[in-house]
Amino acid sequence: MNNMKPIEIKNIHKIVGKVLKCGRFIIESGDYTDSARDVGEYYKFVINSWSSGIDADGVQTIVLSRKSGNKYSPNDPEAIGKYEMFTMGLQARTSVYLKPKDIQSMDTIVDYIDKTMHETYEFYKEKQ
């Protein structure tokens, strides 16, 4: 089971304004809350919208779990000691796991957000 202390990202607001490789940028960051999630369970990174007709071009919310592991499969060796990041609504398609050292660098977090946005775009592109 997960005995690691929830991860804390100090100065998470400093990621706002960072530009992704696709040219979009992070417009909001902080605690993610909604009716289906525990308060403080995730960090959020909100990506600005474009309007070229693909659903992925709307505002996207990418979340990063504060707790390590896979809560649906606690013995998943890919997730042990790592923190899950995914696009809300597309967890199965966009999920990636970050090591604690990956979260120490805002540039590395931005790289993972880029990867997640790419998978989001590819998902919606296939649906057209």
pLDDT of 20-77, one tens digit each? Answer: 998 999 999 999 987 666 667 899 999 999 876 677 788 999 999 999 999 889 899 9
What is the spatial distance between Cα 30 and Cα 23, in angstroms, rounded to a whole number? 21
> Is 6 within the bounds of a domain?
no
Q: In this predicted structure, what is the pLDDT of residue 34? A: 75
Question: If you average pLDDT over every residue of the chain, what do you get?
Answer: 89
Q: In this predicted structure, what is the pLDDT of residue 38? A: 61
Residues 6+ apart with CB under 8 A from 57: 49, 50, 51, 124
Task: Give the domain extent around 49.
Answer: 12-127
> Is 42 within the bounds of a domain?
yes
> Is 44 within the bounds of a domain?
yes
Structural domain count, the chain: 1
What is the spatial distance between Cα 27 and Cα 29, in angstroms, rounded to a whole number? 7
> Is 4 within the bounds of a domain?
no
Q: In this predicted structure, what is the pLDDT of residue 81? A: 93
Q: Average pLDDT, stretch 107-123? A: 95
Higher-confidence residue: 39 or 120?
120
> Is 95 within the bounds of a domain?
yes
pLDDT grade for 1, boundaries at 50, 70 and 90: very low
> Is 3 within the bounds of a domain?
no
What is the spatial distance between Cα 86 and Cα 93, in angstroms, rounded to a whole number? 8
